[in-house]
Structure 1
């Protein structure tokens, strides 16, 4: 295990170096930037700013300077927001993490329960109803579900606030603050859970059906074990093994934010900031965010391999 982790860390460093150079080059070669597109600046001021930010230097020299600062935790300076990129990450990314972590928890919890029951009662009315609802949820776009729930739950029934993270002008603290955040995040969490539960439920249901046909499941039943113990102790553990590979994609998703959901519900997350930066061509912020997602993706993939080994001792890591 130690040798495997050491090798993967070395590979990870090489991959991240290559990915960062590619990402930096793509943003550098993209026509225009925040300074060029700002009509309020005079040509002299634009030239001065390009000299200050080093935009007139060769590509590899600019990349070397950026990498040197990035290794010290400095991902550059957002010209549009007039703040360091790392400060903006720290300000917005935890809002996205909160939203994604809660929705991911409910998505996996509900998908596992429904997937197991649907597989156990294959071709029953429950299984048929689940499949119909799953395909219906997967076929509807996120903005439609979001706007529909805002219309019903926020506008018509007034159960939940339509958007934002806090009520305008709120000075709540302590438990009152936490309660206000929970009420505001309820709608986006519901939408994100509905969007993610469909494919995951189908995945777990299919794996459970395959596992329940194995000989060791029949042996467990022949020994007189309770059906619940057979399903959730023996069958589910093996059915979730292929799903562990999905963990590698969950980590960047937790911090990456949901571009559409955050925009619909006006949630102050990193996804909405990322979309605004695209329109303003704020390449330092876009570069830092893209590299951060690449780092999380590589780390998540390595964690998937390690967790697979922990869950199934038969797997050998080399």
Structure 2
């Protein structure tokens, strides 16, 4: 295990160096930046800003300085927000994390239950109805579902807020603040569940269909075990093993935010900040956040590999 971890850490370092090269040069070689786009600045002020932030240095020297700062925990300085990128992460990323972790939990919860049920009732009327609904939800754009739910529940029925994290001007504290945030979360979480549960349900359904045809499942039924025990203790346990590999992709998603959902519901998350940074070409923030996601991706992949080996000792690292 120790040798494997050392080798994987070396691979991760090489992958991150390659990703950093791609991220930095892709943004740096793009024509125009925040200083060039800011028409309110004089030429003298633009030259001063380039000198302060090192934008007038050779591109390779800027890359070396940028990577050296990242190793120190400094992901850059946002020119548009006039704050360090890491401070902006701390202000916005936890709002996105709250939205993502709740929606991910319920997405997996519903996907497992529906996947097992449709696999057990394969080709039944229930299976057909659920699969048609899943494909329909996957084919509808997220912005349409979001706007439709806002119209129905916020505009017509007036039972849920149309957006935001708290009510404008609210001074709620303690439990009242928690209730208010949860109230505002209902619509965006519902949209994220509808968008994510379809593909995940199909994944669990196909895994269950493969597992319930195995010999050990037939043996368990031949022993006279209850069908619920066969499905959830024997079949589902083994059908969940391939899903462990998805954890590596869930980790960056928990912190990456959902750009469209946060924009529609005016949720103050990192996804909306990322979109605003694109508009003003705030490349230091864009580079820092993209590099942060790259780090989460390789770390999540390592965690999923270790969990897979822990759950199934037959898998060799």
TM-score class, shorter-chain normalisation, is over 0.9
- In the other structure, the counterpart of 1:201 is 201
1:119 aligns with 119
Structure 2: state its 5+ residue gaps: none
Partner SS for 1:101:
helix
Structure-2 separation of matches of 1:267 and 1:303: 30
Matched, 1:155 2:155: yes
- Between the aligned partners of 1:261 and 1:197, the Cα distance in structure 2 is 16
Task: Give how far 1:291 is off.
Answer: 0.1
Q: Secondary structure at the match of 2:149?
A: helix
Q: C-alpha deviations, 1:268-296, integer Å up to 9, x for none?
A: 00000000000100000000000000001
Kindly state the Cα deviation for residue 2 of structure 1 after the two structures are TM-superposed: 2.1
Match in the other structure for 2:268 = 268
* Aligned-partner Cα distance in 2 for 1:14–1:49: 33
1:247 maps to what in 2? Answer: 247
C-alpha distance in structure 2 between counterparts of 1:310 and 1:186, whole Å = 36
Match in the other structure for 2:72: 72
What's the Cα RMSD here? 0.8
Runs of at least 5 residues in structure 1 that lack an aligned partner in the other structure:
none
Q: Could you list the structure 1 runs, at least 4 aligned residues long, displaced by more than 6 angstroms after superposition.
A: none
Q: Tell me the distance in 2 between the aligned counterparts of 1:47 and 1:96.
A: 36
CA-CA distance at 1:201 after TM superposition: 0.4
Q: Is the deviation greater in 74-83 or in 60-69?
A: 60-69
Distance apart, 1:99 and its partner CA: 0.2
Q: What is the alpha-carbon distance in structure 2 between the residues aligned to residue 246 and residue 19 of structure 1?
A: 21
Task: Please name the residue that 2:105 is paired with.
Answer: 105
After TM superposition, the structure 1 = structure 2 runs for residues 1-318 of structure 1, keeping only pairs within 5 Å, are 1-317=1-317
Tell me by how many angstroms 1:11 deviates: 1.0
Farther off after superposition, 216-225 or 264-273: 216-225
Deviations 1:39-65 (A, max 9, x none): 111111111111111001111111111
Report the secondary structure of 1:35's partner residue.
helix
Q: Distance in 2 between matches of 1:114 and 1:302?
A: 29
Q: After superposition, what is the alpha-carbon deviation per residue over 1:188-233, rounded to whole angstroms, capped at 9, x for unaligned?
A: 0000000000010011111101111110000011112111111011
Aligned to 1:314, the other structure's residue is in SS state: coil
Q: Secondary structure at the match of 1:255?
A: helix
